[in-house]
Structure 1
Amino acid sequence: MTKKHRHFLLYKPWGVISQFINPAKRKKILLGDLYNFPEGTMAIGRLDVPSEGLLLLTTDGKVSATIRSTKFEKEYYVQVDGIISNTEIEKLKKGVEIGFNGKKYITKSAKASLLKNVNFPERSQKIRDERHGPTSWISITITEGKFRQVRKMTAAVGFPTLRLIRVRIGNIQLQNLQSGEVVEVPSLL
Structure 2
Amino acid sequence: MNGKPQLVLDLAGVLVSNFSSTFWPAIFGESGLSFQRIREQFDEVRKDLWTGKLREGDFWIWLCNRIKWVNREEARKLLIQSLEPLPAIHSLGQWSQIADIHVLSNHCKEWLEPILDQIEPHTKSITISNQVGLSKPDIQIYHHVAQYFDDYGASHPMVLYIDDQEKNLIPAIKLGWNTLLADNKHQWLHQVEPILSGIRCEK
Same fold (TM over 0.5): no
Task: Please give the TM-score of this superposition, normalised by the length of structure 1.
Answer: 0.27
Report which of the two has the higher share of helix.
Answer: 2
Task: Please give the TM-score of this superposition, normalised by the length of structure 2.
Answer: 0.26
Q: Larger C-alpha radius of gyration, 1 or 2?
A: 2
